[in-house]
Structures are given as structure tokens and as C-alpha cells.
């Protein structure tokens, strides 16, 4: 399928989603949101990949939100009218859904970031599991520089990734967080001299993940996210329930046998998700 804002390739169980509008610095305009939501819903539903790499093109990962968003799709900013302001929350929920899908996808998501990751870009990569960056990358909560509060997840997710004081500094000043400091505070896992080397490393990491049993990877992602948002006691209790649901002796045996025989492992894919909306059913 052809997209206006993205290109998507799936090879050897690794999906590679690339922002492909470098001339406009990969800004997030209305079509961006529609296409991203649709792509992620399809990956979630079909289970056609075991890991997702999100990368970009051109000098910058993304310059963030396009001004088009504020004049379409229910986001007309007539702040004199309460009935219009009341729709803002619904429009925001539509955009929240796209980044929530990144966070809840049944596979790990690796973001490969070059140049500027600005405004909505920070919201986007904070929802991913792993972040790699080039040495020229920087992160900026741009919203404060245009007179507004960031509202797509940065202020909710970033404090769980880096020290809160750094978040306050970025959110209040609009200063750039350069790559080396982003590495030091734990926002990114590793830095690379070139975009090519970074992307190669991201795809290699995704390939390693794709060799592991998908149900165990999904379980790990569930457990990590649950532990982040709950007490240790509650998270351990949830872990018991989770493990009892996903335990599979055959996966352990396959890991042992593959190692003994010196061959790649072979694990079952996650099953596609069926939906009542897609079912061929006639009312009787």
C-alpha cells in the first residue's frame, strides 16, 4: 500500500516504518495521523512482524506538529466559544490514540532518531520501547516556545524515562536536549556517528528480537509497562497471572534444541486478532 507520509516495509518479521516527507521536515499534519493510526492498527491486528523500527528521512526526524492540524479535524482554535473548546479534548484523543498504539503494540518498537526531534516528535519517541540517535540529534519540547503546553504524551511519559528535573527544564524553557546529554540521562540507548550506522544497528536489534518467541516478548513488554505504573507488590502479582497465561514448555525446549543443534530457533508467530467488525455474519 502507498502512503503519503510514510513508507512501510516488512522483511524477515521486522517492520520498518519510515517518515518520508523530508522537504517539509516530516511535520505531523492531518494525513500523518490518519495513516499512522491505520498502519499501527494493521500491524497489531495482523501480527505480520515481530519488531518495528521507526525511522525518518532528511536532516531532521520530525519538526513536530504542522499548523494545519490546528485548523482542521475539529481543532479550530476559537477560544471565545466554549462549544468549540469542548471538542479539543476529543481531537486530542484521536492523536493520543496513534501514540498509544506505539506503546501498546504487540511487538517492541525501536525509534531511530536523527537531527531534530521536536514537539510531537518527542511525544512519539517517548511511546517507543528503545531509542537510538545520531550524535547530531536533539530533543525539544517546542510547544512552550509557541505559547502552549505539550499535550500528546511528553509530559506524561518523559518523567518516567529521565529525571524529573530535566523534564521541568525542557518543558519550561524550550531548550534543546542534545544527543550526548540525552544519552547521559537515559533517554537514548546509544549514539551513532551517521544515520546509516544508526539505522543498521536498529534493524539488527529488531532482527535479534524477531528471533525470540513472540509471546515471551509480548509478555515482557506487558510486565515492564505494568511495573512502571504500579507498585512492586501489584506488579509481582500481575507477573504471576501473566506468566500462568503465556507459559509454553515447547518454547523452552525449542531454545535448548536449537542451541544444541546449532540452528536458528523457530517459534510460532502471534495469531492475528479477529474483530466482530470484520466478521462475515448475517443476523438471524
What pLDDT digit, counting tens, does each position of 148-200 carry?
A: 999 999 999 999 999 999 999 999 999 999 999 999 999 999 999 999 999 99
268, three cell numbers? 510460532
Compute φ and ψ for 92, nearest 5 degrees.
-65, -40
Comparing 267 with 277, the larger pLDDT belongs to 267
Cell numbers representing residue 50 in the block? 515481530
Cα dihedral sign, 67-71-75-76: positive
Domain residue spans of the chain: 6-210, 214-274
Residue 118 DSSP symbol: E
* Residue 119, phi-psi category: left (phi > 0), alpha (psi -120 to 50), beta (remainder): left
For CA atoms 20, 22, 24, 27, give the dihedral sign.
positive
Round the average pLDDT of the chain to a whole number and report it.
Answer: 94
Residue 264: is its pLDDT beyond 60?
Answer: yes
For residue 82, give Cα distances in angstroms to 28, 78, 87: 26, 8, 9
pLDDT tens digits, one per residue of 25-35: 999 999 999 99
pLDDT category, 74, cuts 50, 70, 90? very low
Residue 116: pLDDT over 80: yes
Q: In the structure, what pLDDT confidence band is assigned to residue 251 with cuts at 50, 70 and 90? A: very high
Query: Which pLDDT does position 84 carry in this prediction?
Result: 79
pLDDT of 9 > 80? The answer is yes
How many CB atoms neighbour CB 27 within 10 A? 22
For the chain, percent of residues with pLDDT exceeding 90 = 85
Q: What angle do CA 79, 89, 84 make, to 5 degrees?
A: 35
Residue 71 has pLDDT above 70, yes or no: no
- In terms of pTM, does the model score above 0.75? yes
Among the CATH numbers 3.30.70.360, 1.10.3470.10, 1.10.12.10, 3.40.50.920, which is that of 214-274? 1.10.12.10
State the Cα–Cα distance between residues 22 and 30, nearest whole angstrom: 17
Instruction: Give the count of beta carbons closer than 10 Å to the beta carbon of residue 119.
Output: 27
Q: Are strands 14-19 and 51-55 parallel, antiparallel or unpaired?
A: parallel
pLDDT of residue 75: 58
Cβ neighbour number for residue 242 with a 10 Å cutoff: 17
Is the pLDDT higher at 93 or at 125? 125
CATH assignment of 6-210, among 3.90.226.10, 3.30.460.10, 3.40.50.800, 3.20.20.70: 3.90.226.10
C-alpha cell recorded at residue 54:
521507526
C-alpha cell at 208: 535479534
How many DSSP H helices and E strands does the chain contain? 11, 9
Cβ burial of 93 (10 Å; 0-12, 13-18, 19+) is exposed
The string of pLDDT tens digits covering residues 42-59 is: 999 999 999 999 999 999
pLDDT 10s digits, 130-146 = 999 999 999 999 999 99
- Does 35 or 283 have the greater pLDDT score? 35
Say if CB 17 and CB 81 are below 8 A apart.
Answer: no
Work out the pLDDT band at 77, boundaries 50, 70, 90: low
Amino acid at each position: 500500500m502507498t502512503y503519503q507520509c510514510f513508507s512501510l516495509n516488512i522483511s524477515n518479521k521486522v517492520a520498518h516504518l519510515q517518515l518520508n516527507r523530508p522537504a517539509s521536515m516530516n511535520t505531523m499534519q492531518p494525513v500523518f495521523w490518519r495513516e499512522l493510526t491505520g498502519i499501527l492498527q494493521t500491524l497489531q491486528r495482523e501480527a505480520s512482524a515481530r519488531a518495528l523500527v521507526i525511522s525518518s528521512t532528511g536532516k531532521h526526524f520530525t519538526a513536530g506538529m504542522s499548523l494545519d492540524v490546528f485548523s482542521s479535524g475539529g481543532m479550530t482554535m476559537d477560544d471565545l466559544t466554549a462549544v468549540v473548546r469542548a471538542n479539543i479534548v476529543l481531537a486530542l484523543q484521536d492523536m493520543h490514540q496513534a501514540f498509544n498504539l506505539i506503546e501498546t503494540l504487540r511487538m517492541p518498537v525501536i525509534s531511530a532518531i536523527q537531527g531534530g526531534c521536536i514537539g510531537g516528535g518527542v511525544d512519539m519517541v517517548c511511546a517507543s520501547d528503545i531509542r537510538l540517535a545520531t550524535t547530531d540529534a536533539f530533543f525539544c519540547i517546542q510547544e512552550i516556545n509557541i505559547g502552549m503546553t505539550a499535550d500528546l504524551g511528553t509530559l506524561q511519559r518523559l518523567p518516567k524515562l529521565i529525571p524529573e528535573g530535566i523534564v521541568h527544564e525542557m518543558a519550561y524553557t524550550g531548550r534543546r536536549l542534545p544527543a550526548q546529554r540525552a544519552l547521559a540521562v537515559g533517554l537514548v540507548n546509544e549514539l551513532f556517528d551517521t544515520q546509516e550506522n544508526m539505522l543498521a544497528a536498529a534493524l539488527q536489534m529488531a532482527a535479534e528480537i524477531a528471533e525470540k518467541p513472540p509471546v515471551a516478548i509480548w509478555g515482557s513488554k506487558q510486565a515492564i509497562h505494568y511495573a512502571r505504573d504500579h507498585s512492586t507488590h501489584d506488579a509481582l502479582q500481575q507477573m504471576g497471572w501473566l506468566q500462568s497465561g503465556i507459559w509454553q514448555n515447547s518454547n523452552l525446549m525449542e531454545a535448548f534444541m536449537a542451541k544444541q543443534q546449532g540452528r536458528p530457533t523457530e517459534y510460532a508467530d502471534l495469531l492475528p486478532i479477529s474483530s466482530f467488525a470484520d466478521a462475515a455474519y448475517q443476523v438471524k
